[in-house]
Each structure stands twice: as structure tokens, then as C-alpha cells.
Structure 1
């Protein structure tokens, strides 16, 4: 890599600090990547906030830090210079390894700041804050709450906040939490601190711009890589789930293999011998698939290459698997939940597999980005879907092969480069309550108007009015979370102090009581205490099988040793990913189309044809209501929010239904009664608040238990009800 002639404009490389240039030379880079070259001018030539958008493994971390460190290294900065925020501790550890050598050359310290990081290193950094801090939102909250008076000294000259995996913060309570923390940091520093967001998958850049700068989103610069995606090779494979009773009547040689057995067999044949990732939606599924692959390897007397990776496994086990993938010395396939979806460096993988249909196109794109990272290599994706071999003739949803069609629709949207816009629209009362307590802790007390002006307004709580906030404070006072001194200062109440002193206060999401699983003094991970474990029980965990030796209920420790059998434990049910209107519309387009999708295997093509035949036989092009026996099926063809709204509206008419991806199912319901209820809903649409009266459960987030029903129902009505579906007059699908 060489500099430009002196009579020409300096190249992006020429504009970097000389020590940064030497670091790049020593790395053996022949040139800067596209996003890196663009980011240098974008960051150095203005004071605007910036979003760097590029595919996974495009070098976004260096794109941000090469110019940021070039400018901060040459300035006298009397505090931390850069704050890097990540959603994962593992990603922080990974970025620390990537930045450590570069920062050492620039004589800038780089500090990991999370629960597993060195306490001595953090204490030293607090005494003399300099350089780069790598931190999670929860550790940032802990720093503000516990070291409030000291934080101003640590950040008063802070130049940049870098937010990695920005898309992961654009929805959900952690994103709301971080957005609020950013406002509090600006207030602590006494000025707006410049923000740089990094992301591979953003469906709505306007939303990302608002997240970084809610007071001036139009000033946030978007810098995108112009490089294309690698070649995509994909296959959706269909599997028939046999009916055990029916198969039992067949001769053994004619019986269908259970779908999971067939899926595991194909995964073993297709993936063994290289590095791969397999994603499943739940921890139970991860453990089940990993166990089946491990047993198959054992049966074939070959070394096991398939290992689980999820949030309940110990940090040590997860890091060992990540390092094994990264080193590439042994072929390794990780079976994971979302824990390996984000940008932890695990090296290049040959392929990605998904067990079950994708619910999120953004998540699917993020997962696919793990494959095809080396120049000239394609991205390889396999999706495995199971459907009943003989669907019930009286169940239209089974006949329509919903999971197979959802997988096809997701692939179509992936290829079209569409991504969900995301967003955290809502009142987020649980997180607002938490931020109120946290701010009082940070400042030692605060006035109501001061907190409203800082926490609310443009940003994550923009929909919260002063009336809403006053009602929240009254509810918190009644619950003894806060109390007011004679001079009007709000302080923690008795219950508020107890909450703020808990070890889990710094996180806004709920955590479960758990047993720690231990063998030979080595912690394997944790399982929820609601699992009915007893001595002598068998357990499948961490990809192996165990027998329970003893249980210490007080210490919440379960001792185990290896065993020949096991049972996958239960884990908390995670709230399912809501389907976007666009995905459900695409599902209907798949039914209506006669297109032959080359990415389907033979069984998948047969299942799709059966689904299309059922769609035509049921006349769903023009019908939205089916009466089958004593049951009613309503085809809504909208996303989760609209379908749930209609489900609650029907509940207000005393009709109970169960929601599916494309509609609702009412059991033992008279057709006339159902039609009458629909007519009533569309002729006299219930208000959002009337619908919210039937919402259960109301308490879904960590601090909802401290809020009155009427406040939670009001929040539900304002944020989770799609009133447009109630004004549609009818549900006849629009022509395709």
C-alpha cells in the first residue's frame, strides 16, 4: 500500500496517523477495503454522526477505528476518548483482541468493561481515564449508577461513542435502554457526544438515524459499502413427519424415518468435515439437534464435530467453541441460537443451516453473512422444514403447509434484498420506570421536571407526555419505589432501594432463577429452577448426557457425571418474533403463483404443490372465512400485530381464537355467531382501549409488576393495537 504522488489529492490511507499506517503495513494489507476508504473521509471531514453500513466481515470495526484513533491519538484528551458499546461481552472480548496492538502502538490504553473483565484494570482506568473503553449497556448503567459523581470526569472530553451491531438496538427493551443511556451520557458530559453506528443489516436507515441523533436525525451521515454480496447458493429442504400410529401398521422396511432423524442425517453428510453454523429458534432445539448429531458421530465411530452454543452454557464452553471455530484446526459445526448471529469473530464458515422457517429476514441476512466471507467463496444456506406427512383433512392450516411456505416467502424476500424496518415504537413503561430509578441513583435525587426533560422528549420515550410521566411517578410513589422530600426532590423509596441494590438491577430484561450444572469442579452452564430435577434423573446438556448426582437447593447447584442417556431440559419460552405484514403478503403470493422455485428439493416441491392445491380447493383467492365441522378458520393475511388485534377484537365479542401466521382458528364456534361478531367489529370498530381490556398477560416486562393495570392497558392500546385492521370494512384479500 503506497501513498499518492505529492501533487495529487491525499489518498484515504495518507490521511491516517503515521503509526496507524505502519500498523496496516505490518498487517500485510494490500489496500483498504471499500467501507474503510469511504469512512476515513466521512469521519475526518465533518463533526456529524455517522452510520457505517456494510456486509458482515467487510471490516467495519477498522473502518470506524482507523480514522477515530488517528484523530484522537494526536489530541490531548483529558478523559476517555472513545466509548465502544456492544450487545455482547463475547464481542467486546473479540474487539479487544483486534484493537489491542493498534492502541498499544498509539500509546492509548484499551479497557474491557463488563462483569467478567478485570476489576483491577477498571479501577486503574477510573483513576486515570484515557483511551478506549469497550462496554455493554448494562455495565454502562452500572457505571452511571454506582459512580455517578465520577463519570463526568471520565467522559467530559469523550470524543466518540461507537455502537456496534446497531441494528440489534433498533428494537426491543435493550435498544430503548441504550438510547436512554446515550441521552444521559450527553447530559453528564454537558454536550452532545459524536456517535458512530456500525451495522450489516438495517431495513430503515431513517430509524437508525433517529436512534443516533433524535434531535437532528437528518444530520446523521450514511456511508455504505458499494461492494456487492457474494454468490448465494441456497436450498430449502422439506421433510415429512410421519404419523407414529399409521407407520406402526406398515412393514418395517416401508416406514418413514422421523423428520428430525432425516434432517440430522442430511446435516451430518452435508456439513461434516468443514466449519459450519446451524441455527435453531430455541435452546431446547439446539440441545436436541446437537445431541442427535453427537450420537450419530458416536454410532459411526468418528470424532464429534457438532457442539451447542447458547446463552445458558457457561462462558468457558462458549469461548472454547468460538476459538475452535476461529482456529480452523479441526472441522467444527456450532448449533446455536442467536448467540452466534452477531459479529463475534469465529473465522470463515463454509455454510449456514437453519432448522425451521425464518421469522425475520433481518435475522436471516445476519446469519447468512457468516458464510462466504472469503473472496471468491459463495454464501451457502440450507433451510430444513418439517411438515406432517398426512395433514388432517379438517385442518386447513395443516393442509396449507404453513412452515414450508413461510420458508419460501422468506427466501424470496431475502433475494429481493428487503429487510424489516424494525423499530421500538411504544411507551416502554417498564424501562422508563427503570431509567427513573437509575437516574435518581445516579444523581442522589432529582426533580420531576428535570427527569422528564432529560429522559423523555425526542428519543426512546418520545410518546410519553408530561401527563403520562406524572402518572408514572404517582404509581411509583404508591408502590413505594420513590418518595418526595419536603423541598420536592424525588428519592428512592423503601421498595426502590431494595430493587436498586439487587445485582440484576442494571439490566432492563428479565432473568430467571437457575441451577448451576457442575461436573468435576467445572461449570457447564445453567438451567431454570422450574425443571423438576431429582437425584438419578438423566439430563442432556452442553451436547452431552448426564446423570444427576446431587442437588443443593440453597446454593442452586446440581452435580452431574457422564451417563449413556439424557433428557433435554426446559428453558423459558421466548416471545416469538412477530411476523411483518410483508412476509405474510409474500406467503400469499407464493400460494397464488405457479412459479417453480429451483431452490426447493424434491420433497419441498411436492409439499408446495400440495399446499397450492389446498389453497385452490379451499378457494382462498376470494374467501377469507371457512367453516369446517365445528371450527371456524379466518384468513387475515396480515402480520402478527394486525392478527393479534383482530384476535382481541373477537375476544371482546366473546369468541376465543388461536393465532397462526396467516389467520385465526376458533374451535367449537357457530358460523352465524362468528359472522355476527365480525359484522359488529367492522360496522362499529371497538376502540384500542376497549381491545386492550382483553389483553393477557399484561405484565410482560421486568418492572411491569409495579405498575397498575390501567396504565399498562393504556400503553398496550397506544402501541400494540393495529386500528387499521378494524377499519378495513371486510377482510377480503386484495388481488395479487
Structure 2
């Protein structure tokens, strides 16, 4: 063992790395991470799935823990999913045990007796979620300042999953309040697979601190085998099930889908063909998911059909194949899924795309075109998080019982959470009863208790929103959760649900308690969840355009069916693309169609800016925008020139009132600010400017 990083590890860790793990060396990332992390530097650790990121963070922190004689809870290990925490706990606990340290887990499913033990005995490493951390801060039964008094470092796993979501702002805000409580900064270490802007991600993680930090992303060995990527066009989920059942017999196959409904339907279709099949998604009960994932991990000739719940590093054993139904929305997601394979010596990373429609075939090839050119999405924090600012003001008032109205932002240090509208938000909450004031301090008001006070303010402490769900019970066994719509739609005959890849006949619905009682049945069930993901980005939309113009993604194999589908699409859609210019033409309904290939957000922006040209209230997609049919060619050219000049202004899109109600904590915001927050999040100004800077050819 000659690794310089290895030489700096605690001697006991060195012994166990060699003798317990049987390693003959540290991986490049692990080697490079030792010096900066043991020196106290912030860091972003980048490596593919199963690239050893956990060890790259934990081994140096355990070394520092021993050399500096840390006591109490000194490391927080934060994950976006409770299932990932549960999966990691035995491994991290094993590492900490080597040096006589203790690791425990604290989240919503942990019993009160275990929490009491943690408060009493204070493990050295605590695995938790941001929501559980904030619960500690506001809980009357937890003395947070004492419990976290020894805290020195925070590790954020799958940091990209936080950074591009409101949960990221919530995480940073909670960490800032902990630092204020303790009176010192904490070392921050984020871990992720490949991202497009790692330096910016590090700056985001530091939350406004001007501290030493490093991005650690060792280059991949050029001798590494190129992954085996194949695209097939199968036409339907039934045909996909036939392919999955017929190919790779005896192997363990992880099938990714991007909706819970499709996971249920495909899981049953594969199982009906005699293949041992499991299903995993967020609306299954914890027990059902654990049972499926454990059984899959221990089996060989089997399939598990999953949504993104199995994308973020949860260990399901050695995989032989990853199969992707249709296309993931991002290159980053594809890389996460691809990284689940090729972990065994001599194996190759692989992914088989089974596309159910012509359009999904095109979308998969457009995404792969971006991947083949080395492009990965930058991780961008959600803009203007005013609703999170409102939530944090209320949470801080709940934590401190009395929030000083003078210099009230100091609790969040240098975190750029609050903008010029933040005082307006505070004043709104004071004037509308969310906060009361007395003697220069604010405290929780009656309106906040009424709106967010249910279940001991748990509504306030969860920053993500989900549709109301009913718990599905077979006797006393909890199967999972379904939304109201699948229980209220008109049906002929018995109401039958599809959940966990099995059919369940509804025997009784307890509307007050939100319980659905079921029994197993052979009648075909139905799965339904409301989910409307945003459309493709401008980069992937342009990747699709390149494919239609003749580009073939390098390193990707197309089956005969996929090749025939692509050639047919190139023929049918040849009028939608032009090399060097964008096309505006009449469509089959004699409407004008502007083929921008700009992505849904940029197209939404263009629709707002060019409202005199664009048909209102249309469904905005990634590829085109529909214009008024009675426009002349001259009208279109003059209208575009006017938009380019900026004389029409740059208005934000209108936001539906129902969407405002769906923005969590919007009740604590002035309605105008809630609408502005939502409008800002559905546009892409830079993408719209790109389109306006390009030539558009009008085919009259």
C-alpha cells in the first residue's frame, strides 16, 4: 500500500482497510480526499455510482475525529431518502466501530425509545434528513444546543438531489440555524455523481461562507470499457414485458420507469410471464419496499421494476442489467442509472432502452446525443424561494419561541435565502396573524397554528408537497398509498387497485381516516397517480433536433426496429428541422407552428413575450409553439422583430390560482409574491434569448 492518502489515515483504519475490506489500495477519489478533509476543508466529492464516495468522506472524518478527540455527535450524515439512510447505516456503523465509535440513525420512522437512547448516549455519527434536523431544533423534548454541541462536520449524500430542489434551500437554512446556535461554522462535504457545474455546486453547499473548499473528481481511467448502450423501439408496455422476459434469462435486471402507474402495470405484465418480479416506488409502504428490495438483492433470475427510488444508490446487490423504459428526463439521471451496473470485475456498464412510442424513441436518442458529447446538466438552485423563506421565519419563531424583529435575518448568517421582498413577507405574516408581536419580538400566531399546526406543526416542517393519499390495507398489512382520484373515478363493477404489482379489490373506504381496505383478487387492477413533470431542457430538445437532422449518438447501438423508427421519423418530420435555421410552417390543422427546439421552459417564456403571436392557453411542449392561424408571413416576421427588439417587454407567464394554492406555504406569502415565485420557476430566459438570436425561416 503506497497511497499517500492511505498513509494519512488513522492506523486502525489502515489495518481494517487492508485486512477487513481486503483492499490493496484506495480508489483515486478516496486517496485524494484524505488530505483536504482531514485538514477541515469543505469539499464536493464526485464519482460514478459505487465509486467509493462514502468511504472517501467517512475515512478522513474518522481520522480527524480520533486525532482531534471529538466527542458527542460530531458528524451529521444527511440523505434525501430515509431508505438510503437505512441502507447505509450498517456500512457506516461498521467503519465507525473499527475505531470504537458509534453510528445511529434518526428519521421519522425511528421509534421514540431509540431517539431517547440517542439523546442519552449521543453517537459519534448521526444519519438523518433535513426535516428530522429541523424537528430537533423546534422540539420541546430535544435540547438541540446540548445534543449537537460537539458537531464539527456535515456530509450531504446525493447533494445534487437537494441542490436542484426546494429541499436544498431548506437544508442550507437548517444548517445555518445550527451554526448560529453553536456559534461556529461546520465543515461541509457533498457527494454526487457527475454534474455539469461542480464548482458552483460547492459554492451553493457552502451557503454563502467564504471558506476553503475543493472539488475532488479524479478522471476516469481511459482504459475503462465503453458502456454497452442499446436502443430498441418496442411499441407498447406489453411488448416491453415480452422482451424483458425473453432476454437475459438467469440474470438480475433492474428496470427503470418514470411513473408509478407504469411501474405497476409493467411489473404485473412481466410477472404474468412467469418471471420473479418485484416493484418499488414511493407510494408503496416502507415494509413492502424493503421486502421487495431485500428479496431482489438476494435473488438471481429476477426483475425489479422501479421509479427513481432506486436511482440514488440504495444497495440491491450486484446487477447484471439495467433496462430503461422510454427515456429519463436528464443525462444526470441516466448516468445514475447506468452506474448501477458494471460493478463486478470483468463486467461492463450497460443500459437497454425499450421505447414504447415513436416520440419516446426520439427523446431517448436526443438525450443520448447530449450524453455522447459529454454534456451533463448543471445543478441549479431553484430561484426566488420566497415560500421557503416564509417557512423558515415561522420555524425560527417556533424554535426560539420569540424571534427578535430587529436584525431577524441573523439566524441564517450569510445564506442568500432572503431577497429584497423578505421584509414584505415578514410584514404580511404579522398583519395576517401568522405571527404575533410583542415587545420587539415575534411569535407563532393563531393563523399559523390553524394552517400549519396539525400534528405538532409537522405540516410546517415538511417542505415538499404531495397530493393527499389514502393508506391501502389488506387486513392489518399496509400495502401502500393511492391518491383520491383512483377512488372517485366512475367504474363498472368492483373497484380494483393495482399496487405492488398485484390486484386488490376495494371492500371499504374510510374517508375520514383516509383508509382503503382491500382483498387480493385476480381481476385486473388499475394504477393512477397525478404527476406532470416539466418538459425537456433546451439542450436535450436540441439533441433531438440534431438526431432528426442526421446525427447518430456515438457509442449507441440501435436495433433494427429502432433504426427503422428513426428513419421513418426523419422522413415524416423533415419539414420541422432545417440546418442553420428554425422553421415556422403550417401544420396539419393549418395552424402556424414555430419549431423552436428550445425546451418547455424557454417555449413558455417565448409564449409570454410574444403573446400577440402565440395562441393562448395552449399546452407548451419542448419542441414547438403554436401561433395564431390568421397571421400572415409578414405579420409573423414583424412580430418576431418586435419581440427581438424588446419593445413588447419581458413579462412572466400568467400563473393559475390553483397552482398558487399548490405552492406549499403560499398562504404565508402575499399572493403577488407567490405568483411571481411560481412564474419565475417555469421559464428559461436564457433559452428564449437563444431562440430569438437565431434565424427563423417562415414556410408559407
TM-score, normalising length: structure 1? 0.86
**Corresponding residue of 2:294:** 323
Aligned residue for 2:442? 490
Alpha-carbon separation, structure 1, partners of 2:367 and 2:692: 29
Farther-moved stretch of structure 1 (612-621 vs 579-588): 612-621
Which one is further off, 618-627 or 504-513?
A: 618-627
- Tell whether the 8 Å contact from 2:201 to 2:379 is kept in structure 1 after alignment: no
Give the 3 Å change call, closer, same or farther, for CA 218–687 of structure 1 in structure 2: farther
SS in 2 for 1:185: helix
Q: State the shift of 1:204 in Å.
A: 0.7
Query: In structure 2, do the counterparts of structure 1 residues 21 and 596 end up closer, same or farther at CA, with 3 Å as the change threshold?
Result: closer
TM superposition shift of 1:80: 1.0
Conservation of the 8 A alpha-carbon contact between 1:88 and 1:136: yes
Task: Report matched runs for 1:299-318 at 5 Å.
Answer: 304-318=275-289
Deviates more, 1:29-38 or 1:534-543: 534-543
Task: Determine helix, strand or coil for the equivalent of 1:423.
Answer: coil
Between 1:706-715 and 1:166-175, the stretch displaced more is 706-715
Paired with 2:504 and 2:691, the residues of 1 have a C-alpha distance of 56
Moved more, 141-150 or 427-436: 141-150
| Correspondence for 1:665 | 626
1:451 maps to which of 402, 408, 412: 408
The 3-state SS of whatever aligns with 2:97 is helix
RMSD: 2.7
Change (3 A) 1:435 1:675: same
Cross-structure match for 1:392: none
- Change in CA separation of 1:425 and 1:601 when aligned onto 2, cut-off 3 Å: same
| Structure-to-structure mapping, 1:560-575, within 5 angstroms | 560-573=518-531, 575=532
SS in 1 for 2:467: coil
Query: What aligned pairs does 1:431-470 form with structure 2 within 5 A after superposition?
Result: 431-455=388-412, 457-459=414-416, 461=417, 464-465=419-420, 468-470=421-423
1:237 to 211, 232, 235: 232
Check if 1:710 corresponds to 2:665: no
For the pair 1:120 / 2:113, whether they are aligned, the reply is yes
Superposition pairs for residues 629-644 of structure 1, below 5 Å? 629-644=589-604
> How many pairs does the alignment contain?
682
For 2:577 and 2:536, locate their aligned partners in 1 and report how far apart those are by CA, in whole Å.
24
**In the aligned structure 1, how far is the partner of 2:459 from the partner of 2:249?**
41
Tell me how far 1:94 sits from its aligned partner. 1.4
Instruction: Give CA deviations for 1:53-80 in whole Å, capped at 9, x if unaligned.
Output: 1111121111111121122134433431
Structure 1 residue ranges without an equivalent (≥5)? 5-9, 241-258, 298-303, 388-400
Q: Which runs of 5+ in 2 are unaligned?
A: none
Q: Does 1:476 align with 2:429?
A: yes
The corresponding residue for 2:331 is 361
User: Which residue does 1:300 correspond to in 2?
Assistant: none
Verify the 8 A CA contact 2:326 2:354 in the aligned structure 1.
yes
Alignment of 1:423 onto 2:380: yes
> Structure 2 CA distance, aligned partners of 1:698 and 1:669?
34
Pair 1:47 & 2:6 matched: no
State the shift of 1:193 in Å: 0.5
CA separation in 1, counterparts of 2:609 and 2:553?
Answer: 38
SS in 2 for 1:352: strand
Superposition pairs of residues 35-184 of structure 1, within 5 angstroms: 35-44=29-38, 46-147=39-140, 150-184=143-177
Alignment-derived partner of residue 480 in structure 2:
525
Report how far residue 641 of structure 1 moved: 2.0
Preserved CA contact (<8 Å) 1:647 1:658: no
Determine the structure 2 residue equivalent to 1:26.
20
In the aligned structure 2, how far is the partner of 1:643 from the partner of 1:509? 26
2:562 alignment counterpart: 604
Aligned to 2:649: 687
- Structure 1 residue matching 2:486: 3-state secondary structure: coil
Aligned equivalents of 2:551 and 2:119: distance in 1?
65
The answer on 1:296 being equivalent to 2:273 is yes
Q: Deviations over 1:332-377 (max 9, x none)?
A: 3211111000011112211111111222110111111101111221
Alpha carbons 2:73, 2:151 under 8 Å: kept = yes
| Structure 2 partner of 1:224 | 217
Cα displacement (A) at 1:318: 0.8
Question: SS in structure 1 opposite 2:88?
Answer: helix
The counterpart of 2:245, out of the listed 265, 268, 271, is: 268
Aligned-pair distance for 1:82?
Answer: 0.7
Is 1:408 the counterpart of 2:365 in the alignment? yes
- Cα offsets for 1:451-481 (capped at 9, x unmatched): 324437544x26x12xx11111122223321
Shift of 1:215: 3.1
Please list the CA deviations of residues 140-195 of structure 1 after superposition, one character each: whole Å capped at 9, or x if unmatched: 11111115972122223312111111111121111111121121121111111101
Cα distance, 1:557 vs structure 2: 1.9
Which of 378, 383, 389 matches 2:348?
378
> CA separation in 2, counterparts of 1:671 and 1:715?
36
